[in-house]
Structure 1
Amino acid sequence: MKRLISLLIMLSMVALLLPGSAVARKDISERDTNKDGLIDQIAHFDRRGKIIKIEIDSNADEVMDRFQYYEKEQVVKVERDTNHDGRIDCRDYFEAEKRIRQERSSSDTGSIVQITQFDSQELPLKIQKDTTGDGLFDSFYHFKEGKLILSTKDTDSDGKPNIWQTYQDDKPLLRRVDDDGDGRMEKIISYDMEGLPKESRHDLDRDGRMDAFRSYRSGVLFDEKKDLDHDGMYEIITRFKDDQPIEQQKDANKDGRFDFITQFKNGKPYYQEKDTNFDEKKDVFIHFDADGYAERMEEDTRHTGRIDRIRTYRGGQPVKVVYDADGDGFKEVITLFKAGKACRQTEDRNQDGKPDITIFFNAKEEKQRVESDTNLNGKIDTWEYYKNGRLARVEKDEEGNGKISLKIFYKNEKKYRLIRDKDSDGRFEVTQWFDRPEWSMVMELDSDGDKKPEGRYCYKESVLRLKEIDEDSDGNPDLIEHYNAQGKLFKSQEKHEAVDRLDTTWFYNKAEEAIRAEKDYTGDGRVDTWYYYHKGNLTTVAEDTNVDGKPDMWEEYDESEAIVKRSKDLNFDGKPDLEESAGEQVNSE
């Protein structure tokens, strides 16, 4: 560049001093230096005939693109339009005919993007660049005797350099990088005598400590070793060839042994082996396609030395998984995928080659429907239906006749109702409720299908606690039985002589033997007759004849339930006044 500028200046001066020049007579001189018929040089002179400016068209487009300015017939500045867009983008400044500074401008904004300073020998001394166009100089190059010795770069526009590069004989010597500007180096690269990378250290997690170490051969990456926990042992070692990985070893549990081994082809993985339980035996084997996506994965999930699960992929997305769920050597579970998502899963429980359970999934990979052959006879007998991935209904063909005999309904994955068709007539006679307050289950029996249950059975923790029987289907129970926590009958209520009410209440002992009965003959809601039993035999009857709520007549019976004694409270003071034995009458005082 220095020689070119000097030559152009010299030629311009010689041309102006040639005999016949009109310079002495004119302030402006125009010339066609290449004889193409176009003016390509215009010289300007002052009144004394001294050159002050020269305009040059360097590419014969009839537009001047170079301007040289003179003082005392010495060039002091040269302006150039280097890309011929009509705007000056390069300015050189001179002192004593030596270039001391050059400025280059952006062709888009016109702002200065590079400044070069020269020493007394017109060799570069310092270069500063604005590489981002933000108006700030971010890259600086320092020279000594024309040779580059140091460069710095500010990558985050904070006014401080975070990349330092030293040079020797114009070749890189050492490069240090502080990406985040925290004063700690994330990368240090050293170079050999040829200026090619030799070794590099990297702080991958930015904790101030180097954890990746790379070595190079002839400037090409050879291997990388990572010590992620800084214990002096490498967890990952990757070997390279032609700057691409060919093998990687990984110590996943940091025991000093490599558990994962990956081989690469054309820079992409094509085979991998894993020891997932760290017993020094490989249990996962992965084959990759040409694009580096997993194509087939074989797994020994139980670590028995036998492959029990095989995954198949296409384009990196799963298409099929076969699995030996019970470890018997037969892969009975098959899952199929669509667009990378599970759409159907089958299970062959009896190993006859036919699925006994089929699960259908929706687009969200939530269960949508499950079909099962529970008795393994080759016919589907159970259907499960899901909503938003939650079980909503179960239907069963319990008799194997192709008819649904049982339906179970769910809310929030909790069973709340069950209906059953006991005789396959299409009507569901039995209904069980699981959401009734107080009871864990209430069962209703509607044998005639009139929507009015003839029987209602209430359970707590699988123990019958209450039974209601409505024999005439009028909506009112004719019999109510009460049971204790052990399921033993301790009380019952029934219609005996009344039509619209329960008029008799029975009480039972621990052996569920009747020990007392109470009747309301008058229908006023109060007991008026009491019956007492022993081992199933009537022993005593008490009666309230005056409706005051207290007995005033008593009858006693023998083991054959024949009356042996009758007592009466004539004045209703709670004490018998008259006693009658078999065949006689006694007055009590």
Structure 2
Amino acid sequence: MRIASTSIFAGLVLLVSLALVEGADAQRKPTVLLYDDNEALKEKRSDTNADGAFDEWVHYRDGKPKRAEQDSDFDGKVDVWLGYDAEGQPESQERDTNADTKPDQWIRFSNGRPEYQEDDHDYDGKPDVVIEYVDGLPSRREEDSDLNGRRDRWIVYRDGEPVTIEEDHSGDGKPDLRAEFLPGGVKSKELQDTDANGRFDVTVFFKDGKRSRVEEDTRNDGKPDIITFYELDKITRREADTNADGRFDTVSVYEDGNERRQTRDPDGDGKPNAIVLFLANGDREREQFDTTEDGLLDLDRRYQDGQKISEARDKNGDGKFDLFTTFAGKTPIRSEDDSNFDGRKDTFVDYQDGLRHHQEEDQNHDGEIDVAFDYEADGETLRLEQRDADYDGRFETAVIYSAGEILRKEVDRLGRGSPDRIEHWGEGVVLNVELDEDGDGKKELRNFFDREGRLEKQEQDTNADEKVDTWITRNPETGTERRILRDRNFDGKPDSWRDHDEAGLTTQLEEDNDYDGTVDRVVAFAGGKPASFEQDSDGDGRIDRRGTLDSSGQVAIEERVTGEGSTFDIKVAFEDGKKVREEKDTTGDGAPDIVTTFEGDKRASQLQDTTGDGKLDTSITFAKGVRRRQQRDTTGDGQFD
């Protein structure tokens, strides 16, 4: 073997892969050529980076390269192995890219150009990238990008430039992303399978390398239902088919990449069912809706700082808003309503924590509030109702509720500022009613009703001392009185008891005239009229007065006990309330011994039994109450003598 330096065989130096550079570092080792015994080139050793160490070794056979080794990173270790065919053209190449002395890239050549390449990026000895070449240019590339042993990225080339790139992100072996490129490597289109069902549902179109349009098939029916347009990669417009009828019924317009206006026409009548406006920062500014699909925008919402502040509704479709509501975010604060569509608001509702709290109404549409409601915390249950029933500008009726049921109703009919009628309710019916009939601010009558609303009892205050002194029980079916109790001396205890029959006629009257708690006078009635009475006038528990009464209730005949015993010894007759006759039994024998007649409250005549024989033997006449004449029967023969 013979060794020659490049200084001797200058012609061979031209074959070296790296030519000597003029002024190279002095440490560079000269290229060494080794020959066999036949003086044929056997090996060439080169220092390609002039660091004083060989880093390329080419082995020859019959004057042509057979294999080669390289230290491409100049760390002193061989990391590239080349093989050549019989013509000396590269046939294969192995490369160690991570300096572990094991190849992790393999390239097969044809006619000196790459034909097939494999790369092992995780250095497990198995290729995870495969590249196919045509005429030395890549035609197809397959990758296992997540190094899980399955190919998930595919690239197709034309003239060495990518035409399509497909990727499988779901791991099902099917591409869910596909990019298409124009000559020069400019992306023209990208298809995406966003739900991993094997069908592309998003298509992105590019112009000059930037997005120009995105089509989305959200229903997977093979037809795009959302199209988004871009200029200079900024969105300018978006169209959507929201009801799958093949028409794009929702259109959004953008400025500087921000949505500024959205229009919806789902029924395809050419009239928008909704219009939404946005501020430049993306906050919602205004919304308009056609909620009845009559072609008119009948709901208008306004926003501030992204929060709803007001809402207007056209309830009757006349093109005029008649219900207005203000909001704090999603929570209503107040609403104003024109319920009769006359152009004037007549119903006003205040809200608390988003629930109805207070409501006022102008029910006769005169511009004045005549009904007001207050609600419990649930916004539905009534707590208080006030009404101006006669529209005089003041609430004369107030209804108080408990748990949604009427508890009390107060009416100020006289406008004195205090109720003159108070109804007490229970279980949905009136139980009793308090009345101030004379307007003095004191309740002098209280009516009680049964479950059917029929009057069955009354209490009265007849002397305005705010204490009940009359109690009346009635027949609920007829309304007639059954019993009346009275407190005539206003000591809080009844001292008169009047009973009635079913027809309402008085049958009996009992009285406690000395207010000792014991009945001392009883009046019996016939046909509803007073007929007779009995009375204990001295409170000793014994009847000492009795008699009959005329139809007007005046005494007609009265008998009295004036002595110590229980014998009635005086009998008086009355006409029209005036005494006309009096009989006295002064001896207690049961027979009158003095009989007096009266005219005009004065004695007119008098008969006397002076002897006690039971015969009236003395006659006295009076004139204007003065004794004028007296006659006596001294013999007992019945003749005055």
Q: TM-score, structure 1 length as denominator?
A: 0.63
CA contact (8 A) 1:390 1:413 kept: yes
The one-letter code of the counterpart of 2:483 is: K
Question: Which whole-Å deviations, capped at 9, do the CAs of 1:498-533 have from their partners, x for residues lacking one?
Answer: 6112454322233x2211234689999998764311
Quote the Cα distance in structure 2 between the aligned partners of 1:443 and 1:478.
17
Correspondence for 1:166 among 80, 98, 102: 80
Question: Which whole-Å deviations, capped at 9, do the CAs of 1:129-161 have from their partners, x for residues lacking one?
Answer: 8xxxxxxxxx997456999831437xxxxxxx8
Quote the Cα distance in structure 1 between the aligned partners of 2:322 and 2:235.
39
CA contact (8 A) 2:69 2:78 kept: no
Q: CA deviation at 1:400?
A: 4.3
Q: CA deviation at 1:432?
A: 1.0
Distance 1:544 1:228, change over 3 A: farther
Quote the Cα distance in structure 1 between the aligned partners of 2:170 and 2:279.
38
Quote the Cα distance in structure 1 between the aligned partners of 2:318 and 2:115.
80
Q: Which residue number corresponds to residue 428 of structure 1?
A: 345
Quote the Cα distance in structure 2 between the aligned partners of 1:326 and 1:530.
68
Q: Which residue number corresponds to residue 478 of structure 1?
A: 396
Q: CA deviation at 1:342?
A: 1.9
The one-letter code of the counterpart of 1:166 is: V
CA contact (8 A) 2:265 2:273 kept: yes
Q: Which residue number corresponds to residue 535 of structure 2?
A: none
Q: Which residue number corresponds to residue 333 of structure 2?
A: 416
Q: CA deviation at 1:409?
A: 0.9
Matched, 1:567 2:475: no
Matched, 1:585 2:510: yes
Matched, 1:293 2:210: yes
Q: CA deviation at 1:575?
A: 5.8
Question: Partner of 1:434: helix, strand, or coil?
Answer: strand
Quote the Cα distance in structure 1 between the aligned partners of 2:47 and 2:191.
56
- Structure 1, gaps ≥5 residues long: 8-81, 83-89, 93-100, 103-115, 130-138, 154-160
Q: Which residue number corresponds to residue 250 of structure 2?
A: 333
The one-letter code of the counterpart of 2:80 is: T
Quote the Cα distance in structure 1 between the aligned partners of 2:349 and 2:340.
17
Correspondence for 2:472 among 525, 534, 555: 555
Correspondence for 2:374 among 439, 454, 458: 458
The within-5 A match list for 1:165-564 is 165-166=79-80, 173-177=93-97, 188-192=104-108, 199-201=117-119, 203=121, 212-216=129-133, 220-266=137-183, 267-289=185-207, 291-424=208-341, 426-435=343-352, 440-446=356-362, 453-460=369-376, 461=378, 463-469=380-386, 471=388, 477-485=395-403, 487-496=404-413, 499-502=416-419, 504-510=421-427, 512-518=428-434, 530-534=446-450, 535-543=452-460, 551=468, 553-559=470-476, 560-564=478-482
CA contact (8 A) 1:341 1:365 kept: yes
Q: CA deviation at 1:221?
A: 3.3
CA RMSD of aligned residues (A): 5.0
Correspondence for 1:152 among 45, 64, 73: 73
Q: CA deviation at 1:343?
A: 2.0
Quote the Cα distance in structure 2 between the aligned partners of 1:143 and 1:282.
50
The one-letter code of the counterpart of 1:585 is: E
Question: Partner of 1:585: helix, strand, or coil?
Answer: strand
Q: How many residues align?
A: 461
Distance 1:247 1:195, change over 3 A: closer
Using the aligned pairs only, state the percent identity: 22
Q: Which entry has the higher C-alpha Rg, 1 or 2?
A: 2
Quote the Cα distance in structure 2 between the aligned partners of 1:164 and 1:516.
114
Q: TM-score, structure 2 length as denominator?
A: 0.58
The one-letter code of the counterpart of 2:431 is: I
The one-letter code of the counterpart of 2:398 is: I
CA contact (8 A) 2:387 2:398 kept: no
Question: Which whole-Å deviations, capped at 9, do the CAs of 1:545-581 have from their partners, x for residues lacking one?
Answer: 8999875542222334344422245798976443233
Distance 1:391 1:274, change over 3 A: same
Q: Which residue number corresponds to residue 35 of structure 1?
A: none
Distance 1:169 1:226, change over 3 A: closer
Quote the Cα distance in structure 1 between the aligned partners of 2:380 and 2:310.
25
Distance 1:311 1:575, change over 3 A: same
Quote the Cα distance in structure 2 between the aligned partners of 1:162 and 1:351.
76
CA contact (8 A) 1:386 1:393 kept: yes
- Structure 2, gaps ≥5 residues long: 11-21, 34-44, 60-67, 85-89, 501-505, 519-641
Quote the Cα distance in structure 2 between the aligned partners of 1:141 and 1:521.
129
Quote the Cα distance in structure 2 between the aligned partners of 1:467 and 1:297.
59
Quote the Cα distance in structure 1 between the aligned partners of 2:298 and 2:175.
51
Question: Which whole-Å deviations, capped at 9, do the CAs of 1:360-396 have from their partners, x for residues lacking one?
Answer: 1221233211223344444433321111222221123
Q: CA deviation at 1:351?
A: 1.8
